[in-house]
Amino acid sequence: MKNFYLPDAAGSKIVTVTKSGEAEAETIVLTEAVAVKETGPKETVAKFGEIYAFSPNFIALRENVPTKLTFWNLQPDDEHDFMLAAPDSRVLMHVKLAPLTKESWVFTFHEEGIFNFYCAVHQPEMNGQILVLPPAK
């Protein structure tokens, strides 16, 4: 079983994801340390554990518009991942975000809707949504 993957043939009917290609727009998504053991606050970390977030955690795109999403993992010692789920909650892709790296993919959504994304390692707090709007008229 592959732990990390891009959309398969069925998933590509919903969203095409490539490592390169022309993009009409770009969004940079950062991994953000909200409360970690190195910088505290110690009471928060003691009660909830380390807390991370994606920033931004909401992205609006247009259907059939290739958009580059570039993920920056800013943490030197924490690995994250990015899981994209279809509106029916089926996982379409799962990729690793290694410490201190930048990874880019070009996404072209072929369906409107709300697509949730997650870092499976840091749940329930590290998540977000992509809203795919109809094509511009």
Residue 69 makes CB contacts below 8 A (sequence gap 6+) with 26, 27, 28, 29, 59, 104, 105, 107
Using the predicted structure, report yes or no on whether residue 126 has a pLDDT greater than 80: yes
DSSP code at position 122 = S
Encode pLDDT of 35-64 as tens digits.
Answer: 887 877 888 888 888 889 999 999 999 999
Residue ranges of the domains in the chain? Answer: 11-133
CB burial string 63-73: b at 16+ within 10 A, e below: eebbbbbebbb
- The CATH code of the domain at 11-133 is 2.60.40.420
pLDDT for position 98: 95
